[in-house]
């Protein structure tokens, strides 16, 4: 039996994973601001940016039907 992820297109998977990284990155970034940790804030910002790129890759794949 296939799982949901195995049944989805790679564009949809990229889109979902990208959204997840954006959210978790924003949480880390805000936590870093609250506890005054520039390192955690930077890691969160980087993770959110990675999520934005992955989401954009998913959108491009969707255009090409993958």
Inside any domain, residue 24? yes
Inside any domain, residue 58? yes
Inside any domain, residue 57? yes
Inside any domain, residue 5? no
Instruction: Decide: pTM greater than 0.85.
Output: no
Q: What angle do CA 5, 53, 39 make, to 5 degrees?
A: 105
Does 4 have pLDDT greater than 60?
Answer: no
Dump pLDDT digits (tens) for 10-36: 888 998 999 999 999 999 999 999 999
How confident is the model at residue 56, as a pLDDT?
Answer: 94
Helices 10-34 and 38-63 sit at what angle, rounded to 10 degrees? 160
Inside any domain, residue 1? no
Domain that holds residue 14: 10-63
Does 2 have pLDDT greater than 80?
Answer: no
Q: Report the C-alpha gap between 58 and 63 in whole angstroms.
A: 9
How confident is the model at residue 65, as a pLDDT?
Answer: 82
Inside any domain, residue 59? yes
């Amino acid at each position: 039996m296939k799982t949901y992820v195995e049944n989805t297109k790679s564009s949809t998977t990229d889109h979902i994973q990208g959204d997840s990284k954006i959210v978790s990155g924003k949480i880390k970034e805000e936590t870093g601001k609250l506890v005054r940790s520039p390192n955690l804030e930077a890691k969160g910002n980087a993770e959110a940016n990675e999520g934005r790129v992955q989401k954009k890759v998913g959108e491009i794949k969707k255009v090409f039907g993958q």
